[in-house]
């Protein structure tokens, strides 16, 4: 059901891009929307992993530099029947982790220095198993595509604002309703963000369950999430604050704004994630 939901949400996001393009620029806007989607999806498929690793100044982690992390990832990959991903370290004090890459053969997992200091080996295994679950189910590619389409919608809205400011009209001569175009410029990026967040939230629960199965003990991940939730309130992550569009990649929300409505959260509530893992551990429904 989660896979079907994700597919429907991606379809809705793509449809929103096309509707927004036509509303803002008529037939010309629709063509521009299609071109943007094609170009940006191509870029996200081939280069999204390199981009996010560069943003967070990730450094490759060798067995000598991070022996525990490397051994944990190697052991979990073998247990999950997956290729060994590349392993990276992020020079961040805030404990967190993410996975990236278009498929299991081109995947990377990254952990912050803060995560390695805070977690026991079992908790680290729970966190990295969660990230490997994202790779296994190709969530990393799904979220890259969702972020790309959302970015295309925002770009389209900016282009429409620019055209309206200078009195430019579409080359096909259509006289579109200016009020509808203005409304779409405002609402389309908001709707795109909401759909992106819904996709992200739905995939986190699946990755938690699969990660618990990979590491063999749901309580390891539950304990790690509890620590991460407490630490995220105290330790900021400046790079994530500078690039909020990448927040959905991390196992817990790295942003410091905690008073936003739950509707705008990129992750499901930690309490609910922990409750589900504990229920799985103790055989509760």
* Count of CB atoms situated within 10 Å of the CB of 226: 16
- Rounded Cα distance between 228 and 270, Å, is 9
Distance CA 104, CA 84 (A): 8
CA distance 105 to 85: 7
- What is the spatial distance between Cα 282 and Cα 228, in angstroms, rounded to a whole number? 22
pLDDT of residue 259: 45
CA–CA gap between residue 79 and residue 125 (Å, rounded): 12
Looking up tokens 């952990």 gives: 111
Binding-site positions for Zn(2+) read 130, 134, 204
Q: Is 252 helix (H, G, I), strand (E, B) or coil?
A: coil
Low-confidence ranges of the chain (pLDDT < 70): 1-3, 5-6, 9-10, 41, 44, 147-148, 151, 160-181, 184, 189, 191-199, 257-266, 285
- In 3D space, the residue among 112, 125, 53, 132 whose CA is nearest the CA of residue 231 turns out to be 112
Q: Whole-angstrom Cα distance, residue 263 to residue 268?
A: 10
* Residues carrying an active site annotation: 131
The reported pLDDT for the residue numbered 56 is: 92
pLDDT for the residue 247: 81
- Extract the tokens encoding 80: 């999950």
Name the binding residues: 130, 134, 204
Query: Rounded CA gap, 244 and 242, in Å?
Result: 6
Mean pLDDT of the chain: 82
Which residues, at least 6 apart from 171, have a Cβ–Cβ distance to it below 8 Å? 28
* The 86-90 sheet, strands edge to edge: 59-60, 86-90, 108-112, 97-100
Between CA 155 and CA 161 the distance in angstroms is 10
Listed residue (7, 34, 6) closest to 18, CA to CA: 34
On the 0-12 / 13-18 / 19+ scale of CB atoms within 10 A, 37 is: buried
**Burial class of residue 1 in the structure, from the number of CB atoms within 10 Å of its CB (0-12 exposed, 13-18 middle, 19+ buried):** exposed
| Helix residue spans in the chain (DSSP H) | 2-55, 67-80, 113-118, 121-136, 139-165, 178-215, 218-232, 238-242, 270-281
């Amino acid at each position: 059901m989660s896979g079907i939901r994700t597919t429907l949400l991606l379809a809705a996001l793509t449809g929103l891009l096309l509707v927004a393009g036509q509303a803002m620029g008529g037939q010309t806007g629709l063509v521009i929307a299609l071109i943007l989607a094609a170009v940006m999806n191509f870029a996200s498929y081939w280069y999204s992993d390199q981009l996010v690793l560069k943003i967070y100044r990730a450094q490759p982690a060798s067995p000598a530099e991070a022996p525990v992390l490397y051994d944990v990832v190697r052991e979990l990959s073998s247990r999950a029947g997956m290729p060994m991903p590349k392993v990276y370290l992020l020079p961040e004090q805030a404990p967190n982790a993410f996975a990236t890459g278009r498929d299991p053969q081109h995947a990377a997992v990254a952990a912050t220095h803060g995560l390695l200091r805070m977690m026991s080996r079992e908790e680290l295994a729970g966190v990295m198993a969660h990230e490997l679950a994202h790779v296994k189910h190709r969530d990393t590619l799904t979220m890259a595509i969702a972020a790309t389409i959302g970015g295309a919608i925002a770009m389209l809205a900016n282009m429409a604002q620019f055209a309206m400011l200078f009195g430019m009209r579409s080359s096909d001569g259509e006289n579109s309703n200016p009020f509808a175009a203005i409304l779409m410029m405002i609402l389309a990026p908001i709707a795109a963000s909401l759909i992106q967040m819904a996709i992200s939230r739905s995939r986190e629960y699946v990755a938690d369950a699969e990660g618990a199965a990979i590491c063999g003990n749901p309580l390891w991940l539950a304990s790690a999430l509890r620590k991460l939730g407490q630490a995220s309130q105290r330790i900021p992550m400046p790079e994530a604050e500078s690039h909020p569009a990448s927040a959905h990649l991390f196992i817990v929300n790295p942003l410091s704004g905690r008073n936003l409505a739950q509707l705008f959260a990129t992750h499901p509530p930690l309490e609910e994630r922990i409750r589900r893992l504990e229920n799985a551990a103790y055989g509760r429904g």
